[in-house]
Structure formats: C-alpha cells, structure tokens
Amino acid sequence: MRIAIYSRGLESEQSEGLKILLSEFSHYNIEPVIYQDFFNQFYSSIDLTHTYSTFNRPEDLDEIDFIISLGGDGTLLDTITFIGGRKIPILGINYGRLGFLASIGRDEIHTALEALAKRTFVLDQRSLLHLDANMPLFDGCCYALNEFTIHKKDTSPMIKIHTYLNGEFLNTYWADGLIVATPTGSTGYSLSCNGPIVFPDSASFVITPVSPHNLNIRPLVVPDNSIISFEIEGRTDGFLCTLDSRREIASKEVLLAIRKEVFNINLIRLNENNFLQTLRNKLSWGLDKRN
C-alpha cells in the first residue's frame, strides 16, 4: 500500500506527531510518499531510518492508494488541487484550529492508520463546483470543494454582480461580493455571511451575498444541476475571484459561470463520526451554555 502525505508545514513542537505517523506506517508496512517541500522542511530535524519517496506534481500520484493531509482545513483544500479526478481518498488529520474537514485529531493517528490498513473506514463523497471563464484563470485548476467568490478589491466601492440562473436573469447584487458555496462549503465563508447549513448530500448550491446594499436580499439555495453565470460592473478595472483558498484578479470584462464539477472528492471518516456529530462538536450545535 502506498500513501501520500501532504502538508504546508508543521510547527517544531508538532514533529513528534509526525514521528508517530511514520512509525505507524512502518508498523503496517505502508510506503509513504511525501510532498517534496514538506519533506525538505523536516528531514534534518527528524531522525529518519528509511529512505522515502517524494512527489511534486499531481502526475506523481497515479499509483497512490490514499493521501493524508496534515494541517487544518486550508491544507486539505490545497490537497484537493493535487487529486483532481483521480478519486484518491483523502484523510485529514487536524493540526490546525477548527478542523471541520480535517476532523481526525492527532490523538487518533493510530486508529486512523489501522482503519486504512484494514479498510474499516467510510467514504464521504463530496461534490465540487467548476468555474468556466472566457479568459485563463487559476492555471486550469478550475474547481473548488468549498466555494467560489466574487469580491471587490481592498477598499474599492461595492460592485454590481448581474447574476443569471440557466440563462435567465436572477438578480443584480449590489454588494461587496457574492459567494457560491457547495454543501461542504455551506459551513464556511457562506455561513459567516448568514448563509444556511445544508447537508453534504443535498445536491445544491448556496448563493450568498457579502454585505449587500439591499437588505431584503437573502441567501438562496438552488439545485446543483443549475448553471450560474455572472457579469460584473464596478468603478475599478478588476475584482477578486477565488476558488477555495486560491485567488486571482480578473478584469470586469470577464464572463464567469459556475456549474457542478463532473467528478467528486472522497473524504475518509472513521465509522463513529458523521456530519451531525461534526456540527455538534465543531460548531457547538445545540450546546446550552446557560449553566
């Protein structure tokens, strides 16, 4: 079995957890393949008794069984840019703060590796969105697990976002920006802008304005077989366009459209974890703090 490890980097005090992880790999006779930049960060500070393979590009993962993301949710979103349509299951071990997607704690490393070795895990299929544009954006990696956003630049005035649903005019948003979130992304940026929480298998997009000028504008849930397209007006030449944690500056002449991506991402969870437990544990869902 070959398992890739991706991380942006760990703090020095977290190196012990990495040692435990590599020890578990050895115990289960798993061959690790480590992201090259991450390997360069820690190889001199950890006593390595084996020679490890590394990867740099998505093409290096063609013979990988699983990939482990070490970090927070942002690290897991980065990991997805390497996976694409390869259907490699992702295990997120949380070294960050909230850990909504990377929900497996550092104290669960042994349990998680045992589940991988014995195939006693559950795969959650998560849908993605895809961005189409009439100009090159995001180096061809035009998909996102959480959300796509249009946002004004810095302190520039609000922008006008003419929005169409399957070619029919929906609304013009006078706002700082607009979010199109997947069900997975409904607990992220969209939620902080008063968007609804929707279940991962709900087959929908959530359209949420950011600081709208018209206060009667509310978030909208639409089927994910819809095509949502945009035309932008503003007093500046460009605006910010993001896919998850990646961003580009686009000119206001660009035409943008969002649709459901043709492939899904598989997130690994342990049998005892589910979406409702994550809501309760991570968002204090229903917690009574009066006592």
- Enzyme catalytic residues: 73
Cβ proximity of 189 and 149 under 8 Å:
yes
Cβ proximity of 36 and 60 under 8 Å:
no
In terms of Cα–Cα distance, which of 170, 194, 248, 259 is closest to 223?
259
In terms of Cα–Cα distance, which of 256, 280, 36, 3 is closest to 132?
256
Q: Copy the structure tokens of residue 108.
A: 């669960």
Nearest-angstrom CA–CA distance, 168 and 227:
10
105 backbone dihedrals φ, ψ, rounded to 5°: -75, 160
| Tokens 């940026």 found at | 189
Local structure of residue 142 (DSSP, 8 states): -
Torsion of CA 222, 125, 136, 186, to 10 degrees: 40
In terms of Cα–Cα distance, which of 154, 198, 170 is closest to 258?
170
